[in-house]
Amino acid sequence: MVTLSDVARAAGVSLSTASRAINGSRDRTVSPELRQRVLSAAETLRYAPNAAAQAIARGRSTELSLIVHDITDPYFSSIAAGVTKAARAAGASVILGVTDHDPQEAIALIDSARSHRSQALVLVGGLTDDKTELARLQSAIDEFVEATGSAVALVGQPRLAVRSVAPANESGAADLARSLVALGHSSFAILTGPERHVTGQERTAGFRRGLGTAAAVSQLVPSSFDRDGGYGAMREVIAAGTLPDVVFAVNDVMAVGALVAARESGLVVPDDVGIAGFDDIPTLRDIVPALTTVRVPLERLGEIAVGLVLADDDHGPEELPVTVVLRDSTRR
């Protein structure tokens, strides 16, 4: 294991000079000749600085912690892609944590980020509005901030007292509702996701507001926030008897589940029932009928979050504009 001392010795300079030559400390310069000697010694020895040692000597690490619920979900993986890209551009490594939707685990992961003295924490998606759960999370975050002095960004959930960026859930859903009404649809069911899930709540509320008095919501069906949740919820809708014109699922993976449920029941989308989602995940483009949705710039969301924490762009909660995308699944 070659250390900086080895490099210094090989170059015939002191440890300090070697250090300065290699990472070019500011306010100190090392003569070109020495620098060159050091650099080539490092090259010859294939020296790689010990990140942990640097972190401890400098008092700050170069890692960014990213916490998601499920990395196989296209929503999260798209955001993760944006985060890794931006982090890499900023010279940070990303530590990936997967909660598997377990709040306990989320807290454990935040604590782990604290242990790593991460330069930044990006927490993606899906908070509950359960008071005690939220308080626990908040205090874990507070401790992280206090211990590391670094910033935290929430993606998709501007509920806690930290920087955050989120899609325009409410207004996007409202726009979607209006577009569907304009198309002539007049009865709706909403697959709301978990009852305590804030994103689901916002999208549900926005959708209802957009509907105004022009149309009615016949059913609100809660379920888990994933594909199987959408599938199950849709089966409930179908079992209930009278079908609405359009079923709005608060996210795309749920909408996909709903679509499959409809198909399995022999229903033709959009003839028998329309389906709409939210997010515009990449996988959507391969399913038929093409799903109406609200496009959220997911990768961008991740990049912005990194900017928020790394560049210290403290603009308060950011809301990212979204756009309604009407496709075949709600054709009339």
Partner DNA sequence: CCCCTGATGGCAAGCGTTTTCCCGAGCTGG
Partner DNA sequence: CCAGCTCGGGAAAACGCTTGCCATCAGGGG
Q: Does 61 engage in binding with its own copies (CB under 8 A)?
A: yes
**Least distance to DNA, CB of residue 49, Å:** 4
The span from the CA of 36 to the CA of 9, in Å, is 14
* Phi/psi of residue 102, nearest 5 degrees: -105, 115
Q: Which entry of its own copies, DNA, none binds 28, CB below 5 to 8 A by partner kind?
A: DNA
Buried b / exposed e over 210-236, threshold 16 CB at 10 Å, is: bbeeebebebebbbbbbbebbbbbbbe
Terminus-to-terminus CA distance in the chain, angstroms?
Answer: 68
**Least distance to its own copies, CB of residue 260, Å:** 6
- The stretch near DNA (CB under 7 A) out of 27-35, 98-106, 124-132, 214-222 is 27-35
Tokens 């709005």 locate to 248
Q: Does 44 engage in binding with DNA (CB under 7 A)?
A: no
Contacts with its own copies, 162-201, as mask; x by CB under 8 A: ----------------------------------------
**Least distance to DNA, CB of residue 295, Å:** 43
Contacts with its own copies, 277-316, as mask; x by CB under 8 A: -----xx-xxxx----------------------------
**Least distance to its own copies, CB of residue 330, Å:** 18
The span from the CA of 120 to the CA of 41, in Å, is 34
| CA distances (Å), origin 309, targets 87, 127, 150, 299, 305 | 10, 19, 8, 16, 7
Q: Does 49 engage in binding with DNA (CB under 7 A)?
A: yes
The span from the CA of 238 to the CA of 286, in Å, is 25
Structure tokens at 56: 């401890």
Q: Does 116 engage in binding with its own copies (CB under 8 A)?
A: yes
Backbone φ/ψ region at 26: left (φ over 0), alpha (ψ -120 to 50), beta: beta
Q: Could you say which of 7, 8, 70, 238 contacts its own copies (CB under 8 A)?
A: 70
Q: Does 260 engage in binding with its own copies (CB under 8 A)?
A: yes
How, if at all, do strands 293-295 and 323-325 pair?
antiparallel
Question: Residue 124 class from Cβ within 10 Å (0-12 exposed, 13-18 middle, 19+ buried)?
Answer: buried
- % helix / strand / coil in the chain, to the nearest 5? 50, 20, 35
* Phi/psi of residue 297, nearest 5 degrees: -75, 85
Q: By C-beta, is 57 or 182 nearer to DNA?
A: 57
Q: Does 91 engage in binding with DNA (CB under 7 A)?
A: no
Q: Could you say which of 40, 43, 44, 53 contacts DNA (CB under 7 A)?
A: 53
Q: Does 147 engage in binding with its own copies (CB under 8 A)?
A: yes
Query: Which parts of this chain interact with DNA (CB under 7 A)?
Result: 1, 3-5, 13-17, 19-20, 22-23, 25, 28-31, 33-34, 47, 49-50, 53-54, 56-59
**Interacting residues with its own copies (CB under 8 A):** 1-2, 46, 48-53, 55-56, 61, 63, 66, 70-72, 74, 77-78, 80-81, 84-85, 88, 93-98, 100, 111-112, 114-117, 143, 147-149, 227, 256-257, 259-260, 263, 282-283, 285-288
